[in-house]
């Protein structure tokens, strides 16, 4: 015979303050747990979406990031003439040779400087990244000191909004457009004409080469060709892989920190649940005795109390998740340790995170409720009835 579910719920309602405090503690833990997972998921989503699977990115061997890399024109010429590169509508291979540098810009709110990626692109570079389109103003004209800014940069940094000017490399650059990059890492970059950038920054070489493959599965062959050519000291990566690698350190850091904090916090919340459940058992000793006398088995008493504790956990989990869901409206902008450049990303709530957070909340309820429930189930009928 099972203890009715309504009995469990009404027990929680009867002790409103205690229930609210316990569930509130758990809700905060679940909130922290979920936001951290959302942050790390958001970072991954941003950087993975930045790449296209059939695009290949070439940088100098061992340089890890585009900014540290350098490719001279001779090497670029060799890569450009590879047979597996898709030919564009103008009959030329779809290769973009790009200088990428960092500049220091003050943030709009605090005025504190941070590093922003400046990328010199060519018309072909735009073809290679169909996810980028202008939302305000227009594209820069090649051969001029005009730039376009990613949406996150335009709102986040001084002088980067439409119509404003930025000063770097001894020149003034006018922002003539703002582009949306569909939540990719490009939204945290400023783009200008590649040749203009090369001259302004006095570069003789490019930072990275990006090209499109004729067929996606030719990648291994192309990689082999590039990396075994003695004239080239370069390495090739799929664009998707390249950007995923760049998010690794930051996302691992967020994950480690978040998991450690969640585990420590959950100890506090579990203790809270335990105290509540022990008190619940102690104050209802006579009631438990009555239930047993009525014929409810030890098993059903155990289930009833565990159910109460799980319900507490679930309540906390749902409240915490609801709070965390509101975080999706926010985006966060920070420096990626690996590239040393600013990156903006959002909190992303995935079904996996919802499941993980609810499971976590139920686990807290279970661990916190098990010992008190076992004590309730072990009570002897006679002793329990006498307790009143």
Partner 1 sequence: MYFLRLVVKNALRHKLRTTLTIVGIVVAISAFGLLRTVIDAWYAGANASSSARLVTRNAVSLVFSLPLTYAQRIRQMPGVTAVSWANWFGGVYVSERNFFPQFAIDAPTYLEIYPEFLLSAEERKAFLTDRQGAIVGRKLALQYGWKTGDQIPLRGTIFPGTWTFNLRGIYDGATKTTAESQMFFHWAYLNESVKKRLPRRGDQIGVLIEQLKDPDQAAAVSQAIDSTFRNSLAETLTETENAFQLGFVSMSEAILLAIQAVSFVVIVIIMAVMANTMAMTARERGSEYATLKALGFGGGFVALLIFGESLLIAAIGGVAGIALTFPLANAFREALGTFFPIFYVSDETVGLQLGAALVVGVVAAIFPAWRASRLPVVEGLRAIA
Q: Write out the binding residues for partner 1, residues 241-270 only, by CB under 8 A.
A: 254, 257, 261, 264-265, 267-269
Query: Cα separation of 252 and 249, whole Å?
Result: 5
Query: Cα separation of 114 and 105, whole Å?
Result: 6
User: Minimum distance between the CB of residue 199 and partner 1, rounded to whole angstroms?
Assistant: 12
With tokens 């996150």, the residue in question is 152
User: Site for partner 1 (CB under 8 A): how many residues?
Assistant: 56
Query: Cα separation of 252 and 152, whole Å?
Result: 23
Tokens of 67: 């900014």
Please give the C-alpha separations between residue 26 and each of 193, 243, 276, 296, 368, in angstroms, as whole numbers.
53, 36, 12, 30, 11
Cα torsion angle, 284, 288, 290, 291, sign: positive
6, 89, 91, 112: which one binds partner 1 (CB under 8 A): 112
150 near partner 1 (CB under 8 A): no
110, 220, 230, 295: which one binds partner 1 (CB under 8 A): 110
User: Minimum distance between the CB of residue 79 and partner 1, rounded to whole angstroms?
Assistant: 17
Question: 338: Cβ–Cβ under 8 A, 6 or more apart, which residues?
Answer: 64, 65, 246, 247, 248, 249, 250
User: Minimum distance between the CB of residue 245 and partner 1, rounded to whole angstroms?
Assistant: 10
103 near partner 1 (CB under 8 A): yes
Query: Cα separation of 293 and 290, whole Å?
Result: 5
Neighbours of 388 (CB within 10 A): 10
Stretch that binds partner 1, among 25-33, 88-96, 138-146, 172-180 (CB under 8 A): 25-33
Q: Write out the binding residues for partner 1, residues 195-224 only, by CB under 8 A.
A: 201-202, 204
Q: Smaller CB distance to partner 1: residue 221 or 275?
A: 275
User: One symbol per residue from 280 to 299: x for binding partner 1 (CB under 8 A), - otherwise; what is it?
Assistant: ---x----------------
User: Minimum distance between the CB of residue 271 and partner 1, rounded to whole angstroms?
Assistant: 4
- What is the chain's Cα-based Rg? 30
Q: Write out the binding residues for partner 1, residues 299-328 only, by CB under 8 A.
A: none
CA-nearest of 181, 143, 138, 188 to 339 is: 188
96: left (phi over 0), alpha (psi -120 to 50) or beta: beta
Q: Smaller CB distance to partner 1: residue 51 or 272?
A: 272
User: Minimum distance between the CB of residue 25 and partner 1, rounded to whole angstroms?
Assistant: 4
Q: Write out the binding residues for partner 1, residues 159-198 only, by CB under 8 A.
A: 168-170
Query: Which residues sit at the interface with partner 1, rule CB under 8 A?
Result: 17-18, 21-22, 24-25, 28-29, 31-32, 60-64, 67-68, 101-104, 110, 112-115, 168-170, 201-202, 204, 233, 254, 257, 261, 264-265, 267-269, 271-272, 274-276, 278-279, 283, 332-335, 337, 340, 342
């Amino acid at each position: 015979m099972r203890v009715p579910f309504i009995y469990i719920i009404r027990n929680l309602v009867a002790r409103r303050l205690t229930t609210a405090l316990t569930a509130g503690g758990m809700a905060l833990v679940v909130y922290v747990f979920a936001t951290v997972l959302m942050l790390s998921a958001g970072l991954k989503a941003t950087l993975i979406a930045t790449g296209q699977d059939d695009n290949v990115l070439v940088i100098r061997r061992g340089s890890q990031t585009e900014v540290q890399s350098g490719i001279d024109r001779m090497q670029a010429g060799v890569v450009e003439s590879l047979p597996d590169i898709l030919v564009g509508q103008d009959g030329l291979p779809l290769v973009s040779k790009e200088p990428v540098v960092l500049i220091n810009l003050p943030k709009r709110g605090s005025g504190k400087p941070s590093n922003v990626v400046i990328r010199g692109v060519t018309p072909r570079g735009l073809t290679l990244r169909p996810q980028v389109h202008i939302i305000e103003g227009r594209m820069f004209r090649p051969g001029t000191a005009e730039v376009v800014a990613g949406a996150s940069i335009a709102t986040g940094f001084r002088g980067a909004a439409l119509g404003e000017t930025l000063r770097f490399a001894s020149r003034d650059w006018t922002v003539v457009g703002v582009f949306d990059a569909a939540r990719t890492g490009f939204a945290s970059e400023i783009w200008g004409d590649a040749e203009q950038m090369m001259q302004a920054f006095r570069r003789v070489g490019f930072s990275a080469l990006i090209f499109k493959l004729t067929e996606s599965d030719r990648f291994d062959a192309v990689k082999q060709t590039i990396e075994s050519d003695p004239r080239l000291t370069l390495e090739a990566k799929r664009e998707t892989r390249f950007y995923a690698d760049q998010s690794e350190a930051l996302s691992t850091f967020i994950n480690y920190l978040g998991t450690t904090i969640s585990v420590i916090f959950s100890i506090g919340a579990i203790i809270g649940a335990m105290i509540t459940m022990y008190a619940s058992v102690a104050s209802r000793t006579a009631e438990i005795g009555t239930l047993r006398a009525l014929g409810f088995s030890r098993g059903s008493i155990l289930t009833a109390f565990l159910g109460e504790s799980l319900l507490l956990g679930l309540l906390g989990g749902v409240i915490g998740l609801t709070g965390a869901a509101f975080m999706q409206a926010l985006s966060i902008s920070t420096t990626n340790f690996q590239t040393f450049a600013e990156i903006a990303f959002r909190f992303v709530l995935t079904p996996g995170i919802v499941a993980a957070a609810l499971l976590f909340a139920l686990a807290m309820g279970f661990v916190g409720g098990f010992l008190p429930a076992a004590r309730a189930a072990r009570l002897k009928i006679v002793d329990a009835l006498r307790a009143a």
